[in-house]
């Protein structure tokens, strides 16, 4: 390993060297400094080409102007990997951006894997490679959680936090500006890293969305959960992030959709990041949502029950066999329900708590076992220690995953950590609130993991639609043309006849049946109703004839004069529920499917859910379930319940059509899509193509 820019005069160099030394690295370290014969008490070499033995990694902390030359030299010396601490690149204005661009080109030309620039580096805990300034300030606790952070400072903070909460790490990486190695590359590596079971991410900006989706799918396939805190939801932090890293910031609702879709667990705080990762490191994939609990406090049981309900976690009643087993160990005044309050009797009887946990863990209705208790360190081992030992044994021997959590998030003192380790307690910190939230998220991920395990995603991917390719130009299409596209691709749409005069309209109306609607068909009039181009609920021939003339007249008053293809005559529909379904191209994420409840639901509640294309039938069904007004589809308000299978099929067709047209499509909107039992049809449609009119 080579430290380039190692110098007694640099605070950063001191911090890096102290971290490396404290980490116990056993390989050889070369200090590169052309201006000083020693650094940190070690002899230096003048340049990378003077080292005289193969070097695995160059850690670069020279001034910004010298970075490119050092990387060039590293390549000359046969070094394939570099970490660049130096700042002043893409995060620092346009000059820095071009410097970063040069760095990228150099790395590509010379085949260099570069982490950074503007990174703090990484720590490989089991291999004791601690290349992270200040790493000596935090203990290196080995474990199965890998942590990658786009913020270097927070990476260090989190390392301390994970150690304090007794969560071991396999790898810590600060990815900096991601000129070459991105967060997705790190995840890609971690999917295959045997030391890592859970991947925790702190994300400010997702630079290559498609890469993240791909590696997330790989992680899900092998059962390694990804837990991510993605910041930049607010307007202000979006601006801050742009200033800080120069990265584009997208629509946060799409980030939400992407994470959900690809099985990434999204968390809202650093504390949830830690606790959710810690829960999953202890439990692995869970087989279900049924939690069995024993606690030292009735008050804690109340909190657990409340929070379990919030998180959709079941607390099933115990079976009779379990109740009998609990009855044999519990004092009279304890009532054996789930969550179980072992009562103060456990203070006197050190075996009671462990016996109760064994009974609960063996209950067939329990998928995961939780013990809520404090780690009490005694001056000399007594009742409390004996009780903890029996708890630890019961949790370890339980046939289901088991965790131990204290009531609050106060953290562990060193002597508590030592005791937890010695007794083998499956400790998860953060307190009841965070642990229940972590369990809920772990259950969500486990559901997703099991679904993927049963039905490989590839069979679900929307196949391109054959007959769809349009040849009628670009720009925006009239409803009339959009209708034809939908019809050709088996998307059901309300019947319509194009009429060129009042007589044709009246004839069409009598064929379709009264009442009818009239709508002007013109590629130039996208907001038809605004200009008087729509007339509804026409009940007889004379109304249709009069309305025809009115609409034509209204359309002709528009300036510049629109092209008018005629008037569409359609039967009126009533009843049912109106959805909006649309695919719109997002500049960052590509084509995004939106499904929502129409009208007031969209306007007031913004009751819309998103997914990035392609989507599966399972995705669409999940989207419908996410709508806050989902009860309307289940037949609230006295209407017939929607045929969800048929509805999913129609929405999937729309998504597939849009996906097949993706290279040219700007947007494809069906609004409303009317659903009345199994009767599903588009009432209006709008298609816009990329590029100018």
Q: Read off φ and ψ for residue 71, nearest 5 degrees.
A: -65, -40
Which of positions 485-544 make contact with a copy of itself (CB under 8 A)?
Answer: none
- Comparing CA positions, the residue from 213, 430, 649 lying closest to residue 439 is 430
Contact (Cβ atoms closer than 8 angstroms) between residue 191 and residue 215: yes
Question: How big, in percent rounded to 5, are the helix, strand and coil portions of the chain?
Answer: 45, 20, 35
Looking at beta carbons only, is 344 or 456 nearer to a copy of itself? Answer: 344
Question: Counting contacts by CB under 8 A, is residue 14 touching a copy of itself?
Answer: no
Stretch that binds a copy of itself, among 72-80, 234-242, 359-367, 558-566 (CB under 8 A): 234-242
Looking at beta carbons only, is 374 or 617 nearer to a copy of itself? Answer: 374
Least distance (Å) between residue 128 CB and a copy of itself: 23
Looking at beta carbons only, is 348 or 539 nearer to a copy of itself? Answer: 348
Question: Counting contacts by CB under 8 A, is residue 684 touching a copy of itself?
Answer: no
How many whole angstroms separate alpha carbon 17 and alpha carbon 210?
37
* Residue with tokens 């359309």, as numbered in its chain: 555
Question: Counting contacts by CB under 8 A, is residue 248 touching a copy of itself?
Answer: no
Binding mask 429-468 for a copy of itself (x = CB under 8 A): -xxxxx----------------------------------
Looking at beta carbons only, is 469 or 605 nearer to a copy of itself? Answer: 605
Looking at beta carbons only, is 35 or 637 nearer to a copy of itself? Answer: 637
Least distance (Å) between residue 533 CB and a copy of itself: 18
- Binding residue for a copy of itself (CB under 8 A) from 24, 43, 344, 381? 344
Question: Counting contacts by CB under 8 A, is residue 469 touching a copy of itself?
Answer: no
Stretch that binds a copy of itself, among 192-200, 344-352, 468-476, 641-649 (CB under 8 A): 344-352
How many whole angstroms separate alpha carbon 674 and alpha carbon 573?
9
Give the torsion sign (CA, 378, 383, 384, 390).
positive
Stretch that binds a copy of itself, among 184-192, 439-447, 468-476, 597-605 (CB under 8 A): 597-605
Looking at beta carbons only, is 267 or 647 nearer to a copy of itself? Answer: 267
Give pairs for 333-341: CB < 8 Å, separation 24+: 338/291, 338/292, 338/293, 339/293, 339/294, 339/295, 339/301, 339/304, 339/305, 339/315, 339/372, 340/293, 340/294, 340/295, 340/301, 341/295, 341/296, 341/297, 341/298, 341/301
Question: Counting contacts by CB under 8 A, is residue 243 touching a copy of itself?
Answer: yes
How many whole angstroms separate alpha carbon 435 and alpha carbon 165?
12
Question: Counting contacts by CB under 8 A, is residue 352 touching a copy of itself?
Answer: no
- Binding residue for a copy of itself (CB under 8 A) from 150, 385, 390, 667? 150
Which of positions 376-395 make contact with a copy of itself (CB under 8 A)?
Answer: 376
Q: What angle do CA 658, 661, 665 make, to 5 degrees?
A: 80
Looking at beta carbons only, is 441 or 591 nearer to a copy of itself? Answer: 441
How many whole angstroms separate alpha carbon 169 and alpha carbon 146?
6
- Binding residue for a copy of itself (CB under 8 A) from 188, 197, 204, 367? 204
Task: Please state the length of the chain.
Answer: 693
- The tokens for 58 are 């160059």
Least distance (Å) between residue 233 CB and a copy of itself: 5
- The tokens for 476 are 């925006």
Looking at beta carbons only, is 162 or 689 nearer to a copy of itself? Answer: 162
Question: Counting contacts by CB under 8 A, is residue 92 touching a copy of itself?
Answer: yes
- The tokens for 93 are 């204005």
Stretch that binds a copy of itself, among 39-47, 463-471, 598-606, 645-653 (CB under 8 A): 598-606
- Binding residue for a copy of itself (CB under 8 A) from 27, 43, 160, 625? 160
Which of positions 107-146 make contact with a copy of itself (CB under 8 A)?
Answer: 137
How many whole angstroms separate alpha carbon 688 and alpha carbon 104?
37
Looking at beta carbons only, is 246 or 582 nearer to a copy of itself? Answer: 246
Q: SS3 string of 344-355? A: CHHHHCCCHHHH
Question: Counting contacts by CB under 8 A, is residue 604 touching a copy of itself?
Answer: yes
Looking at beta carbons only, is 351 or 484 nearer to a copy of itself? Answer: 351
Q: Strand ranges (DSSP E) for 286-445?
A: 291-295, 340-341, 368-372, 402-405
Binding mask 541-580 for a copy of itself (x = CB under 8 A): ----------------------------------------
Query: By rule CB under 8 A, what count of residues binds a copy of itself?
Result: 86
- Comparing CA positions, the residue from 26, 83, 23, 29 lying closest to residue 53 is 29
Least distance (Å) between residue 403 CB and a copy of itself: 18
Which of positions 264-283 make contact with a copy of itself (CB under 8 A)?
Answer: 268-272, 274
* Residue with tokens 């202890």, as numbered in its chain: 282
- Binding residue for a copy of itself (CB under 8 A) from 110, 127, 214, 233? 233
672: how many CB neighbours lie within 10 A of its CB?
A: 20
How many whole angstroms separate alpha carbon 228 and alpha carbon 259?
9
Least distance (Å) between residue 228 CB and a copy of itself: 13
* Residue with tokens 């996906």, as numbered in its chain: 659
Question: Counting contacts by CB under 8 A, is residue 153 touching a copy of itself?
Answer: yes
Contact (Cβ atoms closer than 8 angstroms) between residue 339 and residue 305: yes
Looking at beta carbons only, is 49 or 98 nearer to a copy of itself? Answer: 98
Least distance (Å) between residue 542 CB and a copy of itself: 20
466: how many CB neighbours lie within 10 A of its CB?
A: 9
Binding mask 393-412 for a copy of itself (x = CB under 8 A): -------------xxxxxx-
Decide: helix, strand or coil at residue 213. Answer: helix
- Comparing CA positions, the residue from 121, 163, 89, 108 lying closest to residue 12 is 121
- Binding residue for a copy of itself (CB under 8 A) from 77, 87, 221, 365? 87
- Binding residue for a copy of itself (CB under 8 A) from 23, 117, 143, 232? 232
Which of positions 618-657 make contact with a copy of itself (CB under 8 A)?
Answer: 628-629, 631-632, 636-637
- Comparing CA positions, the residue from 586, 594, 570 lying closest to residue 483 is 570
Least distance (Å) between residue 515 CB and a copy of itself: 17
Least distance (Å) between residue 657 CB and a copy of itself: 31
Looking at beta carbons only, is 43 or 93 nearer to a copy of itself? Answer: 93
- Binding residue for a copy of itself (CB under 8 A) from 21, 81, 157, 679? 157
Question: How far is CA 105 from its chain centroid?
Answer: 31
Q: Are strands 57-60 and 81-84 parallel, antiparallel or unpaired?
A: parallel
Max Cα-Cα span within the chain: 101
Q: Are strands 679-682 and 665-676 parallel, antiparallel or unpaired?
A: antiparallel
- The tokens for 544 are 């249709």
Least distance (Å) between residue 280 CB and a copy of itself: 19
Looking at beta carbons only, is 274 or 673 nearer to a copy of itself? Answer: 274
Find the helix packing angle between 209-221 and 252-262, rounded to 10°: 30
- Binding residue for a copy of itself (CB under 8 A) from 41, 53, 333, 463? 333
Which of positions 292-331 make contact with a copy of itself (CB under 8 A)?
Answer: 296-309, 315
């Amino acid at each position: 390993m080579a430290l380039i820019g190692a110098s007694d005069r640099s605070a950063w160099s001191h911090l890096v060297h102290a971290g490396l030394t404290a980490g116990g690295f056993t390989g050889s370290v070369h200090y590169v400094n052309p201006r000083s014969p020693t650094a940190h008490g070690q002899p230096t070499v003048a340049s990378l080409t003077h080292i005289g033995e193969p070097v695995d990694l160059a850690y670069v902390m020279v001034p910004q102007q010298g970075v490119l030359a050092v990387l060039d030299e590293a390549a000359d010396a046969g070094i394939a990997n570099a970490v660049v601490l130096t700042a002043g690149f893409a995060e620092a204005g346009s000059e820095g951006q071009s410097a970063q661009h040069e760095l990228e080109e150099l790395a590509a030309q010379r085949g260099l894997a570069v982490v950074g620039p503007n990174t703090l580096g990484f720590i490989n805990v089991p291999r004791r490679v601690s290349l992270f300034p200040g790493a000596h300030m935090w203990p290196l606790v080995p474990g199965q959680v890998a942590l990658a952070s786009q913020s270097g400072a927070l990476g260090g903070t989190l390392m301390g936090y994970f150690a304090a909460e007794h969560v071991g790490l396999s790898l810590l990486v600060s990815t900096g500006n991601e000129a070459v190695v991105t967060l997705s590359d790190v995840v890609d590596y971690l999917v295959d890293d045997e030391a890592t079971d859970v991947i925790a991410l702190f994300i400010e900006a997702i630079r290559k969305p498609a890469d993240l989706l791909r590696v997330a799918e790989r992680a899900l396939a092998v059962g390694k959960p990804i837990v991510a805190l993605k910041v930049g939801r607010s307007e202000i932090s979006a601006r801050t992030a742009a200033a800080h890293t120069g990265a584009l910031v997208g629509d946060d609702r799409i980030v939400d959709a992407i994470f959900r879709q690809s099985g990434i667990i999204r968390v809202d705080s650093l504390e949830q990041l830690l606790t959710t990762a810690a829960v999953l490191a202890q439990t692995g994939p869970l087989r279900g949502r049924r939690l069995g609990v024993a606690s030292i406090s009735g008050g804690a049981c109340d909190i657990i029950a409340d929070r379990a309900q919030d998180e959709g976690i079941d607390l099933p009643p115990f079976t009779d066999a379990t109740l009998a087993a609990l009855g044999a160990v519990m004092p009279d005044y304890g009532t054996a329900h789930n969550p179980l309050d072992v009562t103060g009797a456990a203070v006197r009887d050190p075996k009671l708590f462990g016996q109760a946990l064994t009974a609960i863990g063996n209950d067939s209705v329990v998928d995961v076992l939780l013990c809520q208790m404090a780690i009490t360190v005694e001056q000399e081992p007594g009742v409390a220690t004996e009780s903890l030992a029996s708890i630890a044994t019961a949790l370890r021997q339980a046939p289901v995953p088991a965790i131990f959590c204290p009531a609050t998030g106060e953290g562990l003192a060193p002597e508590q950590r030592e005791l937890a380790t010695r007794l083998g307690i499956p400790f998860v910190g953060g307190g009841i609130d965070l642990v229940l939230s972590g369990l809920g998220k772990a259950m969500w991920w486990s559901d997703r993991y099991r679904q993927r395990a049963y039905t490989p995603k590839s069979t679900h991917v929307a196949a391109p639609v054959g007959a769809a390719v349009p040849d009628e130009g670009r720009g925006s299409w009239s409803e009339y043309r959009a209708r034809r596209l939908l019809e050709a691709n088996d998307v059901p749409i309300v019947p319509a006849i194009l009429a060129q005069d009042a007589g044709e309209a009246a004839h069409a109306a009598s064929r379709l049946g009264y009442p009818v609607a009239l709508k002007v068909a013109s590629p130039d009039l996208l907001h038809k109703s605004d200009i008087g181009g729509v007339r509804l609920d026409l009940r007889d021939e004379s109304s249709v004839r009069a309305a025809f003339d009115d609409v034509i007249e209204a359309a002709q008053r528009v300036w510049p004069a629109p092209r008018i293809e005629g008037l569409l005559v359609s039967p009126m529909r009533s009843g049912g529920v109106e959805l909006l379904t649309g695919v719109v191209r997002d500049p960052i994420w590509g084509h995004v499917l939106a499904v929502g409840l129409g009208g007031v639901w969209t306007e007031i509640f913004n009751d819309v859910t998103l997914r990035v294309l392609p989507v599966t039938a399972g995705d669409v069904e999940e989207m419908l379930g996410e709508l806050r007004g989902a009860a309307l589809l289940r037949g609230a308000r006295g209407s017939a319940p929607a045929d969800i299978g048929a509805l999913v099929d129609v929405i999937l067709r729309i998504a597939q059509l849009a996906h097949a047209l993706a290279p040219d499509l700007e947007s494809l909107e069906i609004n409303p899509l009317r659903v009345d039992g199994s009767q599903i049809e588009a009432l209006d449609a709008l298609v816009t193509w990329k590029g100018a009119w």
